[in-house]
Amino acid sequence: MSANGRDENGVAAGKPPVPPFFEGTEKRIEIDFAGSGDLRKIPYASWEEVIQLSKTQILNSKETEEFTSFLLSESSLIVYPSKVMLKTCGGTVPLNAVARIFELAASVGMEEEWLCYSRKNFLEPSAQPPEYASQESEISVCKKACAGIGESYLLGPMTGEHWLLYDAAFKDTDCSSRAEFHIDIMMYDLPADVRNHFFSAEPEGSRKGAEEMTKHSGLGALTEGMKAVIDDYCFAPCGYSANVHTACGAYAVVHVTPQEECSYASFETNFGSRKTPEDQADVSESLNELVGKVLDLFRPAKFTLTLFTDQGAENAIGGAPFESADARYSRRNCTSSHFEQDYVATIVNYVGRKIENKRLRKGDSSDEDCQKKLLPRMLRSRSGLALA
């Protein structure tokens, strides 16, 4: 046992009792704004109002040249000059804050252009607040928040791992002239050695506790490779959150719920994303590499990988990030939908090879056959799979 109370594998000694079930699956709101203003000029106190309306609280904030991040007691808030991304977990109610976000944006000369609310299916829907306990009530709240504008979609199997999405376009946009994208990896059933990195005998908010979790989990080396600075936080007796600011202006957010009965980790980033196709270099290799490293660190038994992208980023992304996931796991299903002027959302569910092999022995198609059938046409040419 080392002097810092951890064994040779970096696992905390004498772990306190594990807290009860916690819903790690996040609710996510992304809003684009149009205008000559800057959302970063909105005062800190006003963002506190937004977070309080969401039933969470700000733990820390960090500001760099490109964006401001807020580390929350339940996940993260990212603020760019013309974009807001609010991501909350547990029993939070982020849709309650949309009207206030619109008001604050108007105060700095910005108008809402597009909103997307999305979430993966909950582990325990009955534990959610009433407005989130059913898809019908959730969609009703979305409609109200967007003044009746927008439509709801379900990507993936209704009886399995799926993604609820509400898309509202307040203004006409041409996504072929834009090149923004983001990926989200939602990982479940983490192995014990990974989960143990996110327990600590340190008090909640301890810098030492956060730094040890970041280091021993491998996230420190990962963010160094992204040329990034990290704002991390440890919960007591377990749990972890981090906002990442990269040198290229991209963000990443990491959240970990390590309890065995509900183990979950998410990693979201727009690493490599640019505003216009003219500025967008080929990022397929670096994006595949990043996703591979994340999966190798957390080693989930199953996960869901989503890609939201403007058409203008299609060539730069190629077959990423799915190529990297395909090399390590087996696909269960894939769903892709187009919105507005060729804005594309793709969700793919993966399971470990051992789990998939049991399914294939029952007479299902081979993994390669599944990939050919399920990979969106816009991504197949870069994946090495022949077009149907």
pTM: 0.88
Tens of pLDDT, residues 7-65? 554 445 555 566 788 999 999 999 999 999 999 999 999 999 999 999 999 999 999 99
Residue 285 is predicted with a pLDDT of 95
Assigned token pair, 191 = 């192995």
Rounded to a whole number, what is the distance in angstroms from the first to the last CA of the chain?
A: 57
Q: Which backbone phi and psi does 25 adopt, to 5 degrees?
A: -55, 125
For 131-167, write each residue's pLDDT tens digit.
998 899 999 999 999 999 999 999 999 999 999 999 9
pLDDT average, residue stretch 307-324 = 94
CB neighbours of residue 4 within 10 Å: 12
Instruction: Please tell me the predicted confidence (pLDDT) of residue 222.
Output: 98
Question: What tokens were used for 319?
Answer: 């077959």
**Alpha helix ranges (H) inside 206-350:** 207-217, 219-225, 284-298, 314-317, 322-326
Instruction: Provide the residue count of the chain.
Output: 388
Closest by alpha carbon to 94, among 106, 77, 114, 113? 77
How crowded is the C-beta side of 86, counted as CA atoms within 13 Å?
27
Q: Using alpha carbons only, how large is the chain's radius of gyration in Å?
A: 20
The 8-class DSSP code of residue 331 comes to E
Q: Looking up tokens 């709240």, which residue turns up? A: 141
pLDDT, mean of residues 99-122: 97
**Which residue, among 180, 127, 212, 221, has the nearest Cα to 310 in the 3D structure?**
180
